A and B are shown apart, each in its own frame.
Chain A
Amino acid sequence: MTQITRDDVLHLAQLSSLKLDDNEIDGLRTDISNILGYVEKLGELDTSGVEPTYQVTGLENVWRDDSVIDYGVNRDDLLAIAPESTNNQVKVPKVL
């Protein structure tokens, strides 16, 4: 049974770009340990020679024309939803 340590939780949070509150860490440690413990039952299955399924409807790669698809949105629409923008660009806070 997988036991997740406090450091593991912090490492996963870092991988996931998540800051955690101190009071969340212990709860998540227990929950994630339990969930991983549950899903480990798949280890019982013999899957040698079985192809993994990544999609279910038999999709295949296809070529399409290299032409612009009209998504009904323009640059101004997209800039309007950014938290901040200036000179037709998304503005971000100084972080260096």
Chain B
Amino acid sequence: MTTISDIKKQIENSSARAVVENAIKLSKDNDEYHAILNLTEERALARADDVDAGKTTGKLAGVPFVVKDNFLAFGAPTTAASKMLEKFNAPLQATAVEKLEAEGAICIGKANLDAFAHGGSTENSAFGPTKNAIDPTRVSGGSSGGSAVVTALNIVPFALGTDTGGSIRQPASFNGVVGVKPTYGTVSRYGVVAMASSTDTIGSLTSNVTDAEFVMDIIAGRDIRDMTTLPDFFQVQPETKQAQKIGLIKEFMADGVDTDVRNCINQYADQLRAAGHTVEEVELPMIEYALAIYYIIVPAEISSNLARFDGIRYGHRAEGVKTLAELYGKTRDEGFVTENKRRIMIGSYVLSSGFFDAYYLQAQKARTLLINQFNELFSKYDALIGPVAPTTAFKLGDNTSDPIKMYLEDIMTVPASLAGLPAISVPAGFDKSGLPIGVQLIGPRQSDAALLSLARSMEIK
């Protein structure tokens, strides 16, 4: 697969313009996957010329990348894959994009996602699904499906995504790339369309772990414009800690999980043992409740965050209305897909008076119990492992009729999100049909670099 260092060599041997032109050509040639919603061609080529002229320099000078289309970025609309923002040209750029541009990286396009990042297959995009990079009859995963597919197809060496409950890790697993969901607060979310503020994170999709470390190192850090960001703690660890104690999460290896997936994770555990680490089965019983906690807290936060889309200040505005209620109602009807509405309404329900204690408050208390169980395990273990998802990429259309079936896809990724823990998805093998399987590594808060170091040491060179 194409890595950042491959691209840097290509730039040295030709030019940034040639490399960026090639990336744009590749994305057009792979149009059938529908991974990119809009290219930022004109701006990208102008920036490439600046690199070639020596006006733009940095650690990623001339290296093309793609952002999920919920990052505000110049050169094309920021749609969040919705009709609401179809024509929205952002007046500013996300901090993460600015940081990459400050190192000379060149954004060439905006990747498809489930509208407003609500979904696990990119089938909820208002502009049509993204197809899996390995088998186009299957889903890309989601919600950062487009970002995973452009990386897997070697269109760009890296892409940015967002992960609220698995939206980087699961598509990374489905397309055979490395996906990083960092500790909550590692990367500024300023300039990124908000979904669920207590679990929203920003991370990378790359072809290997070294590139993930490289990108995370650049985008991590405190930003006064996102008050939840932590002081920069991310420091690449070239040396991997020896003889680590690793817990294999028992609940993630239950009967309902695909046999090929389980076998693959067991093999990874054996490889960890062969490398001198200890791997033991551990129990995390609160995992049984994690999805229920998630699907109360996240819709509640969504209903609040998406209240801003009212047709007044920016985005879509409905025509031909007579009252204010009609203006809001019709604007939001036309601007949102059904899954957006479903989540907003569930959020309204669990937050409404009379139900608040039974749903929202109970979920926040249950969240504490889940976090306590994680903390207990991390007092004994350096990291936890398990699958990313119970299956490999499923067929397009298979899960669209039943929202709960789709939500169950998130069952292994939401626990780390609720606890704010770093979790990464690393390619670990393939199922019988040749579809990629990812292993998930979860660590204590702020152990992101150690987790990546462990993953790098296990990578097949």
Contact = CB atoms under 8 A, between A and B. Distances in A.
A52 B364 contact: yes
B230 A57 contact: yes
Interface in B218-277: 224-225, 227-228, 230
Given A12-B349, A57-B184, A82-B313, A32 B342 contact: yes
A57 B293 contact: no
B198 interface: yes
Contact of A39 (B89, B326, B359, B418): B359
B102 interface: no
Contacts of A1: none
Contacts of B359: 39, 42
Interface in B295-347: 295-296, 303, 307, 310-317, 321-330, 332-333, 336, 338, 341-342, 344-347
B43 interface: no
A24 interface: yes
A72 B361 CA distance: 38
Given A24-B341, A43-B362, A56-B198, A95 B324 contact: yes
B346 A77 contact: no
Contacts of A9: 345
Interface stretch (B3-11, B109-117, B134-142, B365-373): B365-373
A13 B346 CA distance: 10
A72 B97 CA distance: 14
Given A47-B362, A73-B91, A95-B324, A18 B313 contact: no
A39 B295 contact: yes
B195 to A, nearest CB: 16
A54 B198 CA distance: 7
A71 B224 CA distance: 10
B369 A50 contact: yes
Contacts of B329: 13, 17-19
A83 B397 CA distance: 35
B332 A73 contact: no
A35 B341 contact: no
B445 A57 contact: yes
A16 B344 contact: yes
Contacts, number: 174
Contact of A20 (B307, B333, B365): B333
A12 B367 contact: no
Interface residues of B, number: 73
Given A52-B361, A92-B312, A95-B323, A57 B342 contact: no
B314 A53 contact: no
Given A15-B352, A69-B224, A83 B317 contact: yes
Contact of B420 (A20, A36, A56): A56
A36 B361 contact: no
B292 A42 contact: yes
A2 to B, nearest CB: 9
A45 B359 CA distance: 12
Contacts of B367: 52-53
B210 to A, nearest CB: 27
A31 interface: yes
A51 interface: yes
Contacts of B404: 34-35, 38
Nearest to B347: A16
A94 B383 CA distance: 59
A45 B92 contact: no
A51 B322 CA distance: 47
Given A77-B92, A80-B91, 5 more contacts: A9-B345, A36-B346, A45-B365, A53-B371, A56-B198
5 contacts: A42-B359, A47-B366, A71-B225, A77-B92, A83-B317
